[in-house]
Amino acid sequence: MHPSQRARIHQQKRVKTQAENSDTYAFFNLLTGPEFLDQVESLLPDHRERLFPPTETLSMFLAQAMSQDRSCQSIVDDAAIKRLMGGLPVCSTHTGAYCQARKRLPLEMISTLTCHTGRMITEHTPNRWHWRGRPVRLVDGATVTLPDTPDNQEVYPQPSSQQAGLGFPLCRLVGIICLASGAVLNSAMGPCQGKGSDEQSLLRSMLDTLESGDILLGDAFYATYFLLCALQKRGIDGVFEQQGARRRSTDFRRGQRLGQRDHVIELCKPKLKPGWMSQTDYDQAPNSLKARELHTGGKILMTTLLCSKRTSKAALKKLYQDRWHVELDLRNIKTTLGMEMLSCRTPAMAEKEIWVYLLAYNLIRLLMAQAAFLADVLPRQLSFKHTLQMWIAWRQSGSGGYDDDKLVGLFILIAQQRVGNRPGRIEPRAVKRRPKPFPLLTKQRSIAQENVRKNGHPKKLK
């Protein structure tokens, strides 16, 4: 027998044994437990019996986010076929009723369910999945584009460098993600320009998501004096890459020396109050703050973990390398799930769409956590895309229900595919496949249409 086949059989036996000797669905039962159902019930709006009640509409919206064809027509057609095959009265395949039902879904319901799901996953996370027994939270930002409509442009304007009619509305998104499970704990969004639109402002609106004892891990956008003060006040440690401007002036001969290119320094409060900060908050901020700077892995890190004996330089280097997971998580949300370009034509619906994508992402992470728990591996060792494909196939199979043996089989299949461990991987930020040989649109579409109407299409594409 081939070694890989032997390992696969051994893993299957281990999953079945673990399922028999433990609370098999410690994670999966979260979705059907009384706590979650009570949460859903409390968030349901007042409604009358319709073709698409709120729970059915949200279920269809989630399936739409996970589907390859994300059109409303596709999901309505799917619902019509299911009603036909189930012996229910045939419904119309027009999308109007479904679109109106989506509009009636409260934004607070979707966002609260997303945060609640993420929190439940992390609360049931085994201690061995944490970093030295401490929960680590990742933070990073991304942007998504919206359809080019007047309403979207007003709330989420396109970059000022683009001509009117040639760009797309741009929304900035900042998320707090659990390193152990990959679940989204909270998210904030806003335009990409104007006061309060930067990543730090969006993060500050979510600081209540973090708890005492957490470690916040982020890139150089977050290594600022006032954020470190806010974290320290809440009993939270931070590990960030040093900001570029300060990195050039770092002098390891200063401060309390902990080792080679590793020291503790005292930061002084900036003399100028930031524009986003109230005078009261500025006055209450401490006049100084102790922080640790260290050079490792070609980067200068700043952290509030001051003790080199308790937290070595090598340990911080390994921890900061794990920050890359947030980049992969955002890629899974934007590219694998397809959130890079939203489809809703109003800001209110676009925000709902983003939260539905995040809820769908958390539900896939829930399956991965369950499979990892039973296979005795870390969730980060499993493939998000593989899990998504397995769940879609499970749903399309029409197996229905949550039969114990079938669910164990599903988790075995999810745990089979592992992601490669490639530390220090470097890839060029370029694509090999060439785009279609069409010129870029450099004028408003109405003007371009009029030119084609008068002169026809160009005979040769440049």
- The domain segmentation of the chain, as residue ranges, is 11-107+356-416, 220-322
Model pLDDT for residues 420-445, shown as the tens digit of each residue: 877 667 778 888 888 888 888 888 88
Q: What is residue 144's predicted lDDT score, i.e. its pLDDT? A: 97
Beta strands in 279-369 (DSSP E): 288-296, 299-303
Measuring CA to CA, which residue among 122, 131, 123 is closest to residue 305? 131
Contact 340, 144 (CB under 8 A): yes
* Separation CA 394–CA 387 (nearest Å): 10
Q: Is the pLDDT of residue 167 over 70?
A: yes
The pLDDT confidence band at residue 133, using thresholds 50, 70 and 90, is: very high
Contact 379, 368 (CB under 8 A): yes
Look at 6 and 134; give whichever has higher pLDDT. Answer: 134
Q: What is the mean pLDDT of residues 20-39?
A: 54
Q: What is residue 29's predicted lDDT score, i.e. its pLDDT? A: 57
- % pLDDT > 70, the chain: 87
CB atoms within 10 A of CB 397: 9
Q: Is the pLDDT of residue 296 over 70?
A: yes
Q: What is residue 6's predicted lDDT score, i.e. its pLDDT? A: 62
Measuring CA to CA, which residue among 53, 146, 44 is closest to residue 100? 53
Look at 396 and 411; give whichever has higher pLDDT. Answer: 411
* Separation CA 120–CA 426 (nearest Å): 35
Q: What is residue 426's predicted lDDT score, i.e. its pLDDT? A: 75
The lowest-confidence range among 7-16, 293-302, 309-318, 453-462 is 7-16
The lowest-confidence range among 231-235, 365-369, 456-460 is 456-460
Look at 23 and 315; give whichever has higher pLDDT. Answer: 315
Q: Across all residues in the chain, what is the average pLDDT?
A: 88
* Separation CA 291–CA 137 (nearest Å): 19
Contact 172, 251 (CB under 8 A): no
Model pLDDT for residues 375-385, shown as the tens digit of each residue: 989 999 999 99
Model pLDDT for residues 334-373, shown as the tens digit of each residue: 999 999 999 999 999 999 999 999 999 999 999 999 899 9
Q: Give the residue carrying structure tokens 């470690």.
A: 215
Q: What is residue 24's predicted lDDT score, i.e. its pLDDT? A: 43
Counting Cβ atoms within 10 Å, is residue 343 exposed (0-12), middle (13-18) or buried (19+)? middle
Q: What is residue 134's predicted lDDT score, i.e. its pLDDT? A: 96
Q: What is residue 427's predicted lDDT score, i.e. its pLDDT? A: 76
Task: Give Cα separations from 207 to 137, 187, 204, 233, 322 (angstroms).
Answer: 11, 11, 5, 11, 21
Q: What is residue 408's predicted lDDT score, i.e. its pLDDT? A: 83
Chain center to CA of 98:
26
Q: Which tokens in the block code for residue 344?
A: 């809703």
Q: What is the mean pLDDT of residues 256-271?
A: 94
The lowest-confidence range among 48-62, 265-279, 332-346, 384-398 is 48-62
Q: What is the mean pLDDT of residues 81-85?
A: 88
DSSP-based three-state secondary structure for 144: strand
* Separation CA 419–CA 408 (nearest Å): 21
Listed in sequence order, the residues at least 6 apart from 462 whose beta carbon sits closer than 8 Å to its beta carbon are 439
Q: What is residue 4's predicted lDDT score, i.e. its pLDDT? A: 60
pTM: 0.89
Q: What is the mean pLDDT of residues 303-318?
A: 95
Q: What is the mean pLDDT of residues 247-271?
A: 91
Q: Is the pLDDT of residue 22 over 50?
A: no
Listed in sequence order, the residues at least 6 apart from 435 whose beta carbon sits closer than 8 Å to its beta carbon are none
The β-bridge partners of 172 are 143, 190
- Helical (H) or strand (E) element with 78: helix 72-85
Q: Is the pLDDT of residue 76 over 90?
A: yes
